[in-house]
Structures are given as C-alpha cells and as structure tokens.
Amino acid sequence: MKSFIKYTMATVVGIFLTMTLFTIISIISLAGMMATEGMSAPIKEKSILRIGLSGTLAERSESNPFAALMGEENKALSLEDALLALDKAAKNENIIGVYLEGGAMGANPGMAQELRQALVEFKESGKWVVAYGDSYGKTAYYLSSVADSVLLNPEGNVDFGGMASQIMFYKDVMEKIGVKMQVFKVGTYKSAVEPFICTEMSPANREQVTSYLFSIWTNMLKDVAESRNMEVGKLNSLADSLTMISEASVALNGGLVDKLCYMDEVKAILREKSGLEDEDDDLVFASVADVAKSETLDEKVDEQVAVYYAYGEIVQSQGTGLGMSQEHQIVGEKMIKDLQDLREDDDVKAVVIRVNSPGGSAFASEQIWREVCLLKEKKPVVVSMGGMAASGGYYISCAANRIFAEPTTLTGSIGIFGMIPDVSELMTEKIGLKFDVVKTNEMSDIGTMARPFNEAESAQMQKMINRGYDLFTKRVADGRGMAQDSVKLIAEGRVWTGEQGLNIGLVDELGNLDDAVAHAAELAKVEKFRAVPYPGADNPFEQLLNQTKGGYLDSELRELLGEGYAVYSLVRNVKDADRIQARMPFEMNIQ
C-alpha cells in the first residue's frame, strides 16, 4: 500500500512539474512574441509587396499568440495594415510593385472599396500592380481589376455573376421544437427580426435589399469599367452569362483578364518587372505586416489625431450580444473609458472614430453617444464609416462634427426592436414540465418560462420600444441639425448605402479614412500631426486573460457547422443579449 501511494504521489508530482514546465515555456514564448511584436526588419531592395486576396478582410488584425504557437495560420487580411502598407510601399524606394494573389475573399463592400482606392492611389506613385489567380471570387476580382495586368490560370475562372443576398429563416424550425419569438419593434424596414417570425422577406425588406444591393453593384461596375477601360453595359452582359463554371477563355475574350498563364509564367513576368536577369536571383516578396510596421522617415511630432477603431457588435459588457461570440465587439464600458482618456489627453487634438458596426445594444449605444458628445465639447470628432455603420453603429456616429462614408457603406437602419423567446411550449408540452406560481403583483412573473407575455405585458414592452425609437430619432435629429419628423421619414429601420445617405442627409461627405483624418486635423487647426490608432493591441498576457472558456469549443463548432454556425450562435446568444436592440439584420449575406 505504501508503494502504491509512493508511486501515485510521484506520478502526480511528475504531472505537476511537466505542466509547470510547459507553462513556463509558453510564457517565455509569449514574452518573446511580445518583444518582437513591434520590431521591423528593413525592406530589401527590389521587394514586391504581396497581398493575398483569400480568407476574410477584417477591420484590424486580431493577433492570437496561441494560434501562432499551435501553427495555425491567420487567414484574415487586416484593412488597417493593408492601407498602411500600401501608403508606405508607394514611398519606399525599395518596393518596386504590388503582387495580388487572387482567391475567394469575404469582405464587406465598403471595406473592399476602400482597399481598392488605396491600390489606385498606389498606382499613381508610378509603380506597377500585377494580379494572378487560379480563380477570382467577386471581391478578389473587384480588387484585382485595378492591376496593370490581370492574369488567370488557363484552367481557372472568374466569379463575376452579379450580386445576391439570401436570408435564412428559422421560424418553422423553432416552432417544431416549441420555441416562438416574441417580437416588439418600430420601423417598417426593421428586418432583423424577420428570420424569427417570417418564412420569407416582407415587401418592405425586399424593397430595401433590392435598393442597396443595386446601389453597391452599380458602384462596383463603375469602378471596374474605369480600370478595365470597358463599358458598364458590357460588364453587365458578362455578369448575365459569366459564372464560376465558365471556362477561362470567356473571361479573357470578355476583357476581364489580360492573359492566361501558369504560375511559372507569372514568375517570369514578375522577374522581368523586377529587372532580374540572372536566373539565380530570387524574387523578393514583402508581406503586408512587414511593410506596415516598417520604419518611416516622417518627422516626429507630438500632436496627434487619434483614430479610434470601433468595430463589431455593440454590447454593454464583454461576451454578450447576438452575434458570433468569437467576433470582435464594441464593448460600451471599455469604449466609454477609452474616449474619456482621449478627452483628457492634451496631445490628442482631434479624434476620428472609425465605425464598422451593424449596431447592437440600444442601451450601450446611448451611453457611447453621450461620451461622444462630451468628447466633442473639448475637441473635434469626425466619423469615418467603414463597411457598415448602421442602427446602433449610426447611433454612436450621429453626434460627430462630420461624417464620412464610402459610397457602398451600409448605414441608416434607424430603428429599435426587442426580442424575447417564448419557450413555454417546449417546457410544458414537449418536455412535460409543470409550473405553478405565487406572486404579489400582476406582472411579478413577467418573462417566466412557463408562459408567453400576456396582452398587458406586451403593451408595456411595445411602449418601451416606442420610447427608445423616439430617443434614437431625437439623437439623430440633434446631431444632424434636422427636424425629428424629417428623420422619421428616412428612418423606419431602413438600410441605405453611403451614396444614398449623402443624398438624404445622413452622411456629410463620401471619402475614406484618410479624408476623415485630414478633415479632423483641419477642424483642430493643426498642420503637423501624427495619426495614431487606438486602442492599442492587447499584449499576449492580456490575451491569455481574455480567452473565453468556450473558445476552443466555439472554434470546433464553427469548423463543424460551417454556415450553420451563425444560426446556432444567434439562437444561443439571444438569452444573454440586451432585450432592446438597435441592430441591422443579423446576417447581411451579400454574395
């Protein structure tokens, strides 16, 4: 028995020491990663900036040291890094051109349009851009059409079949398991609730989706036509006939690409452009991350224009909300504290809030709105809208001195809704649970799983939603210098593009982030300044502390369920989200 205890204790101690050693090694590795995070290697002569157009286009890079330790590849391209890299590449004499690797990239149209404009501005520096793909998705081709030469594999294809938006409806599935969604809303076009209470688009929702979809497609056609020196009508004709299953020669003969070639031929083209005559000389590529963090010779100045990145669903506390739990969030508590710090920082002369959000918690949006107003009392505040700044995203934007948006930015959606699941049928009829209650007042058991809302409770909920909508439209009216009745005419939860928003007064000017920064500096009357991004990235130790317990399970479910993960995530998160939401449709699903 003593031997058994001895060997058992030795095993336990061994496991403990092994875990401790592994923890120490991990901490040392993370410390090394943290130490090298901001270090930059010099860009070699005749370097080519390589930009991969696969995966997703994200607002900012979400570094994950644990994924790096496990050898997992980050498949997202950071728009912030890409814009900075292109700007530096245009000025760096060691970088001779840009190589775009076509693929299937998921991106919000407004973000893609901003990246495309940066590629156009890079070309204006006199340097070249070459694109090659085994195949091109819509976004990848839209970006690659800027290139001097668009190259395609002879067995490849170009997806240029127009745009579509498909919505998934959950109502019948939920009813089969005995769950119904109790919905309260204001806004004819407030369609975020439709998947839970309908089996098809309402006429109003179909109208707004048609409107913004055609607005986005028209802008994309115009941009491609200009770069490819083609007529919009011809491009539309190609879109009517060209799909992913068309042979490569259709894209070549139609003028979408310049040449069909294999990878070895592409390398020969790049070698020629690089001026490499010796066959032993290798092509030199520089990554977006390396160029973005490369040193610049800009004059050092103390005065700043802060660029505050507010992207993702708006929540009051970390980890709540209706979106996918692993996506970045605008956390009300944190953003308020950050804006307070910027307000008190004397080096910060103006603030640009970069908003890329579908909205979220109405309560959190109101609190952030208040802090933006306080910030504006002390220094200029300008909003740069990214891919979307709608509903709550517009709520936190409307108080700014000036609002910039891309033509294809999705904005507006000024409306409010509340959504509370009724699981009483599931509990009582499907599972067979029985409930009884004693209460002191008529509505003491409101929200119980045993029954749905009664008529009086539903009326009170709708009144609360109406008050929220009235407050939202008043905030917009005050911020935009409009009559509240005029705001309500363009509100009703309707989604507009930036181009449409300019015409109805929701946006001041069409422009990108650089335009917003320049205007903020002009309002602050500063000539020499640094544009400084906020908030700073968490260091690896903070990321360790912020990891959720369900992170691994979530990533496995995302991989297993694919597109179905969105449905699972939405239904799962309803119970934790704020009951009153200022949010766009859950999944825009623009293809």
CA distance 415 to 408: 20
Whole-number pLDDT of residue 71: 47
CA distance 360 to 379: 27
Supply the DSSP symbol for 165.
B
Whole-number pLDDT of residue 553: 53
Total domain count for the chain? Answer: 2
Is 391 known to be catalytic?
Answer: yes
521 and 566 both lie in a single domain: yes
The rounded radius of gyration (Å) of the Cα atoms in the chain is: 26
Outline where 44-163 has alpha helix (H).
65-69, 79-91, 109-123, 138-144
480 and 358 both lie in a single domain: yes
Distance of CA 472 to the CA centre of its chain: 23
- In a structure prediction context, what are the per-residue pLDDT tens digits for the chain, which is 591 residues long? 555 455 555 555 555 555 555 555 555 555 454 444 555 668 888 899 999 999 889 999 865 554 444 444 557 899 999 999 999 999 999 999 999 999 999 889 999 999 999 999 999 999 999 999 999 999 999 999 999 999 999 999 999 888 888 888 888 888 888 888 888 888 888 888 888 889 999 999 999 999 999 999 999 999 999 999 999 999 999 998 877 788 999 999 999 999 999 999 999 999 999 888 777 678 999 999 999 988 775 557 778 999 999 999 999 877 665 554 457 889 999 999 999 999 999 999 999 999 999 998 999 999 999 999 999 999 999 999 999 999 999 999 999 999 999 999 999 999 988 888 888 888 888 888 888 888 888 887 787 878 888 888 889 889 999 999 999 999 999 999 999 999 999 999 999 999 999 999 999 999 999 999 999 999 999 988 989 999 976 555 555 545 444 454 555 555 555 545 555 555 555 555 566 777 766 555 666
CA distance 482 to 506: 10
The residue out of 229, 260, 292 marking a domain boundary is 292
Q: Is residue 85 part of a domain?
A: yes
Whole-number pLDDT of residue 3: 58
Whether the Cβ atoms of residue 141 and residue 221 lie closer than 8 Å to each other? no
Whole-number pLDDT of residue 325: 45
Return the CATH number at 331. 3.90.226.10
Q: Is residue 281 part of a domain?
A: yes
Strand boundaries in 174-231, DSSP class E: 180-186
pTM: 0.84
Q: Is residue 453 part of a domain?
A: no
The residue out of 258, 292, 326 marking a domain boundary is 292
Q: Is residue 21 part of a domain?
A: no
97 and 117 both lie in a single domain: yes
79 and 153 both lie in a single domain: yes
Whether the Cβ atoms of residue 122 and residue 95 lie closer than 8 Å to each other? no
407 and 357 both lie in a single domain: yes
Whether the Cβ atoms of residue 131 and residue 149 lie closer than 8 Å to each other? yes
Q: Is residue 94 part of a domain?
A: yes
Q: Is residue 518 part of a domain?
A: yes
Q: Count CA atoms closer than 13 A to 572's CA, side-chain side.
A: 14
Outline where 296-417 has alpha helix (H).
332-344, 362-378, 392-395
Domain boundaries, position 134: 47-161+242-292
| Active-site residue identified among 185, 190, 273, 488 | 190
**Per-residue model confidence as pLDDT tens digits over 152-207:** 999 999 998 888 888 888 888 888 888 888 888 888 888 888 888 899 999 999 99
The residue out of 270, 292, 314 marking a domain boundary is 292
Whole-number pLDDT of residue 424: 81
Whole-number pLDDT of residue 43: 85
315 and 353 both lie in a single domain: yes
249 and 398 both lie in a single domain: no
Whether the Cβ atoms of residue 409 and residue 387 lie closer than 8 Å to each other? yes
275 and 331 both lie in a single domain: no
Q: Is residue 229 part of a domain?
A: no
Is 365 known to be catalytic?
Answer: no
398 and 288 both lie in a single domain: no
250 and 319 both lie in a single domain: no
Whether the Cβ atoms of residue 506 and residue 413 lie closer than 8 Å to each other? no
576 and 491 both lie in a single domain: yes
Q: Is residue 174 part of a domain?
A: no
258 and 325 both lie in a single domain: no
| Active-site residue identified among 78, 365, 391, 569 | 391
